[in-house]
Chain A
């Protein structure tokens, strides 16, 4: 099949066995790659109700047809597995050079299962693979481990994904670091690697991937690159990276501040894009083939050191360690980001967990003694101490390492009220009160609150935002009207499909030039499938529904649940969002339970799900998922 290697690599860590399997081409045609392939494999192979930290859990590291050809943004790795944070199916993705190198090494996916009896890392080179001892790497930071592996293998072109001490210590939101510059942050899959005693995967590949229409693709890529360079749509992203979001987020009243109590931060001008350029900016990086180069490099010396060798903070991290904690020093953000990178922590979940702890401290729910010192809003020392305590599970850090859902249950005293999560995953840095589409997307995402599932409301406030997908009429970001359809379409087209191709989502946001037609054309040039936009979106819908059925199947293990039980109670938002915002660009906005309920009714109906949020048999049949209808039958 064009665009694929046609091979999977499977590693049984319990037996220390490695073997190749053919990629089921029918499966690839139905689920594409990346997240789609991961969900399909795990749906088939994971037993219901397993502990995410048990050897029975599996991790699928998958690329897709867009890796290999020089498509801008076409180098992303998606990792799928059962998340220790949510107990549900989780996924996370990273860019950089590892995904391309893995595809060139000969594999469309690497499936890891079992548990090694000692720390190991996997070394894959051009169709050969072996497990190597990682005893000396255990306990080392991501950067140290990566450098030691590259040194041991004697090839500086080797690309490494690794975990840090947080993953080893089973912090439920441990990330996976790619080249220590690109991060699969969400879902805690770094802790799953830790539970398997798998420290890292190193790859090196020199193979080539055949594609169906090289000339057609070359023409499209030239056109795309020209548009990126000249049409102005990527200018701000190229100059500021995602830091370009900070000032507008404050202006619109959606930047989470003081643990989501406010949505404007009076010191935003000290941490926005211009402030970062002035203070800690030290250059930029890119992923393969991408002329935008949005990745920021930062440098800071003295009290708060940050090295340009590692990945700099993106918007999410700026807000998570800035406004959310009432910190306005870019150097503190850079240092906190670096500690997360080295320890292997997701910056969003880590920031939200510290904000939760700060609110506990302010309200007297956690004491100075329990926290190992003061934990006042904006205090750099407290932030750094908590990052270390969480990583090494010391004192209150041990509870916070469980994520805010579990921590609040353990702490009690009403702290559930300020534990900001959906389905157990901490909220990203976009307050949904000011953008109602994100509210629906956060609530319904299979993996918990995720800001990369549905394109954000701001892009659809103008005419003809994405007419090819039926979005030509402006919609206010503050309204629910029209949003269930927007979210449903974007979760299928953007959330599921970009993660399955796999390609960077930022270039697909209008008015940026990777338009729906160009994305579909690129897929056809690579694979020769000859599909249209309608079928493309339908594949995304299939992936999305399979993930949802996985969730329904998992729910069966809960007491009193059975086949056909409702998922509706999981599609909820923190109660804090029902409070109206007192000031700022989203003043007066709130999300009442009734508003969300109405939006969910419409969303479920559009999706062909029953009132409990479970796909109907006819919807599954329509999506050619008839073989799993038995999973949801009452």
Chain B
């Protein structure tokens, strides 16, 4: 199971929940699992071209260090403490 933390994303889909635990080795699988728990997330995160929508940051924490994941849906995430999904907030 992978812990996924939502930071200022999808409050309407998650009912305000800030985290969830889902199955998945790749981002695509994690997003599919999230979509089962909270229908609509997949449509928000994967654009019409089948790629990760650029309005989100996906980060992974390993050993206390958080770094951005490469935006490749089929790359294995590996052993992580948690995956974080946040908006690309650039000013304001």
Contact = CB atoms under 8 A, between A and B. Distances in A.
Interface of A: 232-233, 235-237, 239-240, 242-249, 251, 269, 272-274, 277-278, 314-316, 430, 451-452, 455-459, 461-462, 465, 505-506, 509-511, 585
A451 B44 CA distance: 28
B34 interface: no
Contact of B89 (A233, A239, A248, A462): A248
Contact of A243 (B8, B55, B68, B86): B8
A235 B71 CA distance: 20
B8 A240 contact: yes
B48 to A, nearest CB: 9
A248 B86 contact: yes
Given A239-B12, A251-B86, A278-B16, A462 B92 contact: no
A510 B87 CA distance: 12
B87 A509 contact: no
Interface string B2-31: 000001110110001010000000000000
Contacts of A273: 7-8
Nearest to B89: A245
A269 B5 CA distance: 12
Contact of B90 (A232, A239, A247, A459): A459
B77 interface: no
B39 to A, nearest CB: 15
Given A244-B89, A248-B57, A251-B66, A232 B7 contact: no
B45 to A, nearest CB: 8
Nearest to A584: B66
A64 to B, nearest CB: 21
Contacts of B92: 237, 242, 245, 314-316, 506
B46 to A, nearest CB: 10
Given A278-B16, A455-B91, A272 B7 contact: yes
Contact of A236 (B54, B66, B71, B87): B87
Given A244-B87, A248-B88, A274-B11, 5 more contacts: A239-B12, A314-B92, A456-B90, A461-B68, A506-B91
Contact of A249 (B16, B47, B89): B89
Interface of B: 7-9, 11-12, 16, 18, 44, 47, 53-55, 57, 59, 66, 68, 71, 84, 86-92
Nearest to B46: A232
Given A459-B88, A511-B55, A247 B7 contact: yes
Contacts of B12: 239
Contacts of A274: 8, 11, 16, 18
B55 A248 contact: no
21 contacts: A235-B44, A236-B8, A239-B12, A245-B89, A245-B91, A248-B87, A251-B59, A251-B84, A272-B8, A273-B7, A274-B8, A277-B16, A315-B89, A452-B91, A458-B89, A462-B54, A505-B91, A509-B90, A511-B53, A511-B54, A511-B55
A316 B92 CA distance: 7
A316 to B, nearest CB: 8
Contacts of A462: 54, 71
In the complex, the 4 A-B pairs of residues with the closest C-beta atoms, listed nearest first: A236-B87, A245-B89, A242-B92, A273-B8
A153 B28 CA distance: 60
Contacts of B88: 248, 458-459, 511
A239 B44 contact: no
A272 B84 CA distance: 15
B86 A247 contact: yes
B34 to A, nearest CB: 15
Contacts of B8: 236, 240, 243-244, 246-248, 272-274
A239 B44 CA distance: 14
Nearest to A268: B7
A239 B9 CA distance: 8
Contacts of A277: 11, 16
B91 A235 contact: no
Contacts of A457: 90
Contacts of A278: 16
Nearest to A505: B91
Nearest to A273: B8
Nearest to B18: A274
Given A248-B57, A461-B68, A236 B89 contact: yes
A66 B88 CA distance: 27
A223 to B, nearest CB: 16
B91 A451 contact: yes
A510 B11 contact: no
B72 to A, nearest CB: 12
Given A232-B55, A462-B54, A585-B66, A239 B11 contact: yes
A511 B54 CA distance: 7
Contacts of B9: 236
B55 to A, nearest CB: 5
B55 A235 contact: yes
Contacts of A269: 18
Contacts of A315: 89, 92
Nearest to B12: A239
Contacts of A459: 88, 90
Contacts of A316: 92
Nearest to B9: A236
Contacts of A240: 8, 11
